Chains A and B, each alone.
Chain A
Amino acid sequence: QVQLQESGPGLVKPSETLSLTCSVSGDSIRSQFWSWIRQPPGQGLEWIGHIYSSGTTNYNPSLKSRLTMSIDTSKNHFSLQLGSLTAADTAVYYCARVNITSFGVVVMDVWGQGATVTVSS
């Protein structure tokens, strides 16, 4: 059974950098895409970006200037760093596996439980 688990600080100060890690078990991180998605309190879902096992990334342009994703195949985990935080970055952050279906359609088919991040002084 594939499981993803986010880890990181629950509280971060404004202007600082958020670092989250997603640990993957039950599947190899190699040769696959992995995504980050976030959800502000009481709001909808926002795609942050994805990373391939080679390290190739694709970021949401709305966050690109503040965002870095990385991947460590030896540890079977991938990470997110988001800088210059404001209160608007307060959200639940999810990591997810990206599955390319036999139809060629990409779907995020396994999600972590989510990490709640609050940006506040």
Chain B
Amino acid sequence: DIQLTQSPSFLSASVGDRVTITCRASQSVRNYLNWYQQKPGKAPQVVIFAGTNLQGGVPSRFSGSGSGTEFTLTIDSLQPEDSATYYCQQSFNTPRTFGGGTKVEIK
């Protein structure tokens, strides 16, 4: 199975800050990497797909970069509604796997 390691597991930032979350894969997943946002009590929602592509309806302050084994999710100008847990997920092969999650808190 491909292991995905996210860092940090928790971050606290202020409104307007730029935050970056990293996802490292145990082997190359090319660009087969997606990012999901999950708010408490809700289902995950896709934010970024194929490494760098913004899902429709997602604010442009979200962006993704990377390929191979290292990926980042960046939120420019953090907003209160961005408080959530973010997961990376690979679809390079099966079983699909997820990172352990990064909880983003607003100070």
Contacts and interface: CB of A to CB of B under 8 A. Distances in A.
Contacts, number: 64
Interface in B76-107: 87, 89, 91, 94-101
A112 interface: yes
Main secondary structure of the interface of B (DSSP, over half): loop
Given A101-B53, A103-B31, A103-B53, A108 B46 contact: yes
Interface residues of B, number: 25
A2 interface: no
Size range of the chain A interface in the assembly? 20 to 34
B44 interface: yes
The residue in A45, A46, A109 that gathers the most chain B C-beta atoms within 10 A of its C-beta is: A45
A107 B44 CA distance: 12
B31 A46 contact: no
A58 B93 CA distance: 11
Contacts of A58: 94
B43 A113 contact: yes
Contacts of A108: 34, 36, 44, 46, 89
B68 to A, nearest CB: 14
A11 B47 CA distance: 32
Contacts of A61: 95
A106 interface: yes
B45 interface: yes
A99 to B, nearest CB: 8
B55 interface: yes
A47 B98 contact: yes
Contacts of B45: 111
B39 to A, nearest CB: 12
Nearest to B42: A113
A105 B98 contact: no
Interface in B43-90: 43-46, 49-51, 53, 55, 87, 89
Q: Which 7 A-B pairs have the closest CB atoms?
A: A111-B43, A105-B50, A47-B96, A106-B91, A103-B50, A107-B49, A45-B98
Interface of B: 31-32, 34, 36, 42-46, 49-51, 53, 55, 87, 89, 91, 94-101
